[in-house]
Structure 1
């Protein structure tokens, strides 16, 4: 059984001493922490996740209502029981409206308090299990947006999971078309801020003279055309994440104010006389060489280090060529949905050609190319004839170099067999990964018999056990 952590806040020291002494005998596997100070309680709550907070309504340092509000700001899911004198029942009822679970009037009998605590802890367990389940579902959903099981892609998934668990600024770097925006969405969705909407802004799409207002807001009359107050994206993203796409294109004048906002966690709208506190996580993306921009003085070095607390790199397609067959099949299905048609059959010859082509535009270029193939495909199969029709290039695969770097060309049969084996291996590994190593479920997902899939698994020397949870 898990151990429960209970925090008790009351300015009566005798009450604290009594509950700290009695409750561990009445409640199994329970750790009791007590404090007479609401401010100390806030500090403790920021450092430790408590299953239950039991606190008095009336305290000299800070009222229970104020403490409740601030505790909920720290942890919206925390379970709170208010203790109140008989004459303050109206206040206790108000506290429930503010998010308290229940209240108990003083003086109380210990058995009554213990029953109430047990019910409150049951609620905490349900909330914890629900959050865990939602986190697992969210992670599965978000990471399934990516396609690929090559080592660089597996590393990307692990990095996203790790980074999402923090609240530090993130800088996502990668070439155009490598899925930086998708990585930003996944990091936000898997973070503690994931329940709130991710706010995004494409920095180069906004003129320099408007970008500051767009980020920090403005007051009516701050400049010509400012006909009403505008709160800005930082305020809109308060409590959530702000995705700054193509951060390298922010002008230096705005960089200075962005740096101040990150340092102070506060902003000042244009034309405003005071600052506003904000709680915003910054997720930035760029395909540019920021170090070069720092050297030529077009990007502030101190801002770079503020943004680059943790870094994520999305790999280009040339580093994950083993994933191209999987990507082609995935993009084929997506395009079929867009066009409201059945997915095409993709020939192994075409897969071989696409796998060995250069894709400077990365996945985005491949996605658009697959769309064109489908649009101009006259039949049910995407093959070399369709390829030649679409771009006019000779569909022959580049000469395969031998082990010494020569110009020998392998036979068609050998090239085809190698391409088919590569695709089959990656396809089956992807199936087993998504089914958690369950061969029967994987066979159903692939619309094939379990026996047929087992034969392929044995032929490819793949171990389903490696894909099972906890293995």
Structure 2
């Protein structure tokens, strides 16, 4: 266990030397440092870590109250006890209001000083334990949705913890379905900004003509339909983090304005006449090759370097095959809970097939595949028959060929959409009733539909569940 650290700042050298000798003896397990140079203390205040500070109020070079304020900006701030002249109660009260824990008046007796210092050290110890506990809870919460113990995943965990301790812009790169947004949320959740919610924007989902307004806000009357002031996402994320999801799809016209905001740390809403500062940490994700986009002049190189101060890569599922059994078991429990059905076991041969199978869509594709496995398995074990029923791509598994006559026979969109939906519904209901042997209540539970909704579907299709019952 590391010793607690006590710093004493006073301009009286003789008193400092005497206190250091006495306190080093009386306060067991406490490292005592003294300084008669408050200017040096002020200059090094962010580099020095102390649990307790005994600080004189009146010093010629730097006022003790200014040092008190500076200590309050440390992370975490130390417990500060002020030394005041006899009878200067007004100054002591002011110090307490500005963050001091306690005060002691000069001249003081050593037993009185020891009593005050021990109380301050105990407070610092409790605060330290509380901070450690909060960090542990925050870390557990931040990694709630992460699974895996393979080497690539462990490296990712370590990268997240390291990045959380900085305020650098982070570019999170990886294939689709590898959990890039989860990484961004974990970095924010472990950071000093976690007391405020992460603000996220899916860049491709917002039309180009609206994206600038969403990011930077707009004044009333800035454009047709701007009926009131709109707070942009940068302003909403002030003091927190902003996630720019799929940044590679942001239009070049908006890239230029985004670059300016990142450089100046100021925004100007559309239609506004004044800039104002924002304190925002930028987290970005992409599954694209931004370097190629820079060559194609569809992504600004200077913006790339602003966003890519630090990179983190999310591993693809093929790089962490040893974690697939863990993921499959988790997804199976999750789906059973969603459907309200009994838990299911994965047969060993099925698990082996899932581990060897290629998953270009990564964890998201695996999760959807497990959903189909559970859905079409009324028994307690997911076996080879269940795997065979859903092993093909969804369209082929349902017996649907999108364009059976070739591309030349493409029909109107709405007609083709209706045909595909009808074909899927027929095949789905047929498999569902076969698995449940015509038990409508069980079929409804497995499918996630209400019994009434499923019954209406059967009536509309003219399907009699009795024909599926075993004689």
Helix, strand or coil at the partner of 1:379: coil
Post-superposition offset of 1:204: 2.0
2-structure distance, mates of 1:167, 1:36: 29
Post-superposition offset of 1:25: 3.2
Helix, strand or coil at the partner of 2:49: coil
1-structure distance, mates of 2:69, 2:164: 26
Per-residue CA distance 1:177-225 (angstroms, 9 max, x = gap): 0011111122222233334322222222223333333333344444444
Post-superposition offset of 1:313: 0.7
- Counterpart of 2:34 (choices 12, 32, 35) is 32
Helix, strand or coil at the partner of 2:45: helix
Helix, strand or coil at the partner of 1:337: helix
Helix, strand or coil at the partner of 2:44: helix
2-structure distance, mates of 1:287, 1:300: 17
2-structure distance, mates of 1:6, 1:383: 65
| Distance verdict in 2 for CA 1:311–1:125, change over 3 Å | same
2-structure distance, mates of 1:70, 1:224: 48
TM-score (structure 2 length as normaliser):
0.72
Per-residue CA distance 1:395-415 (angstroms, 9 max, x = gap): 9xxxxxxxxxxxxxxxxxxxx
Per-residue CA distance 1:412-452 (angstroms, 9 max, x = gap): xxxxxxxxxxxxxxxxxxxxxxxxxxxxxxxxxxxxxxxxx
Q: Comparing 141-150 with 116-125, which one deviates more in the overlay?
A: 141-150
2-structure distance, mates of 1:271, 1:87: 58
Aligned to 2:247: 247
Helix, strand or coil at the partner of 1:377: coil
| Distance verdict in 2 for CA 1:111–1:151, change over 3 Å | same
Post-superposition offset of 1:251: 2.4
Aligned to 1:313: 313
2-structure distance, mates of 1:219, 1:59: 50
1-structure distance, mates of 2:84, 2:229: 43
Post-superposition offset of 1:96: 3.6
- Counterpart of 2:16 (choices 15, 19, 22) is 19
1-structure distance, mates of 2:63, 2:69: 10
Aligned to 2:50: 50
**1:212-223, aligned counterparts within 5 Å?**
212-223=212-223
Q: Which has the larger radius of gyration?
A: 2
Helix, strand or coil at the partner of 2:194: coil
Post-superposition offset of 1:108: 4.3
Q: What value does the CA root-mean-square deviation take over the aligned residues?
A: 3.2
Post-superposition offset of 1:291: 0.5
Post-superposition offset of 1:175: 0.5
Q: Does 1:103 align with 2:103?
A: yes
1-structure distance, mates of 2:33, 2:342: 59
Helix, strand or coil at the partner of 2:187: helix
1-structure distance, mates of 2:223, 2:57: 48
Unmatched tracts of structure 1, length 5 or more: 396-471
**1:84-123, aligned counterparts within 5 Å?**
84=84, 89-90=89-90, 92-93=92-93, 95-106=95-106, 108-123=108-123
Aligned to 1:190: 190
Aligned to 2:161: 161
Aligned to 1:75: 75
TM-score (structure 1 length as normaliser):
0.72
Post-superposition offset of 1:85: 5.0
Per-residue CA distance 1:141-171 (angstroms, 9 max, x = gap): 4335322222222222222222223332211
1-structure distance, mates of 2:91, 2:210: 47
Post-superposition offset of 1:35: 4.0
Unmatched tracts of structure 2, length 5 or more: 25-29, 398-471
Aligned residues: 390
Whether the 8 Å CA contact 1:173–1:285 is kept in 2: the answer is yes
| Distance verdict in 2 for CA 1:221–1:191, change over 3 Å | same
Post-superposition offset of 1:90: 4.9
Q: Comparing 214-223 with 301-310, which one deviates more in the overlay?
A: 214-223
Q: Does 1:355 align with 2:327?
A: no
Aligned to 1:206: 206
Post-superposition offset of 1:342: 2.9
| Distance verdict in 2 for CA 1:208–1:45, change over 3 Å | farther
1-structure distance, mates of 2:195, 2:275: 27
1-structure distance, mates of 2:122, 2:59: 28
1-structure distance, mates of 2:108, 2:273: 51
Aligned to 1:277: 277
Whether the 8 Å CA contact 1:222–1:271 is kept in 2: the answer is yes
Post-superposition offset of 1:243: 1.8
